[in-house]
A = this chain, B = another copy of it.
Amino acid sequence: MSPQVTVIAGGVGAARMLSGILRVVDPATVAAVVNVGDDLELHGLRISPDLDTITYTLAGEIDPEKGWGLRGETWQAMETVARYGGISWFGLGDRDLGTHLYRTHRLGQGATLTEVTAEIATAWGLGLRLLPVSDDPVRTVVTLAGDGGDDGTEVSFQEYFVQRRHAVPVTAVRFDGAESARPTEAAMAAITEAEVLVIAPSNPLVSIDPVLAVPGVRDAVEARRSANVAVSPIVAGAALKGPADRLLVELGHEASVVGVARLYAPLAATLVIDEADAELADAVAAAGIRPVVAETVMRTPEVAAALARTTLEASR
């Protein structure tokens, strides 16, 4: 009998972690509580990038080269949009567009994001429960560092991440709407009732934090700290993907497993760090979280499965 496992999840790193977990435990016992702070509305469509990245990855349909979007994708709609001079910085492939059309249609009918997400997951044959942390809007807003007179410009997460290719310094992050958002019952139950709670190797500041920022979630995670395991998204001082390392430094943290340990010590009893960081194990322990050293760079499904096994065992 598999333990009930819940994963606090962002996008790419969480999707790989989940694919490993699904190889070692019964998918029916797994839930993911997923960030919605990256969500956006574009061209009238409701887009949930983290939910879709997880869905497409677990369906085996993710574009293996880009790490997001679907395999065998075409870009005809975007070419038409570009002809009109419309918004084309956020690439929506033709296959992928169908997901946003369906989601927008169902939300317009009054379905919740939780319901639509479940329908989409079922259609791709996924066995786990994929749960947006909230059905209410939470939007990650990033303050860009000034360059000349530009100080303090706030942009949406995707304007920072995709449009500016996360190549600009950041001075602050906030989660618009979080204070009045309610976590879903399903997400809260998945957090409180799981035997093991895993904090996926996602960006702590813009993927995990917006999940925790929904009222009640951080408290619920902290209340069960002893059975929680985080996996460091920082390996040898760098993010495997995305701007987590730079964001940590820009927002006053250390871009290392020790910096991650300080952020996660109140949330989890255990932190899985990479073999490359074994020498920092004592410093992690000194930050108040038990280090477990493992191979964390999920280059193959086998490595992801081994990391999942180590992570789940580390919670015991």
Contact = CB atoms under 8 A, between A and B. Distances in A.
Nearest to A79: B98
B45 A84 contact: no
Contacts of A45: 43-45, 101, 104
B105 A77 contact: no
Nearest to A43: B101
A102 interface: yes
A247 to B, nearest CB: 29
A20 B121 CA distance: 50
A84 B43 contact: no
B44 A104 contact: yes
Interface size class of A (residues with CB under 8 A): 35 or more
Contacts of A44: 44-46, 101, 104-105, 108
A76 B105 contact: no
A81 B100 CA distance: 9
A252 interface: no
A263 interface: no
Interface string A228-268: 00000000000000000000000000000000000000000
A86 B103 CA distance: 9
Given A98-B79, A98-B84, A105 B42 contact: yes
A87 B99 contact: no
A77 B45 CA distance: 13
B74 A123 contact: no
Interface stretch (A89-97, A145-153, A163-171, A208-216): A89-97
Closest 6 CB pairs of A and B: A80-B98, A44-B104, A43-B101, A76-B94, A94-B94, A77-B97
Given A77-B101, A80-B95, 4 more contacts: A45-B45, A76-B95, A80-B98, A85-B119
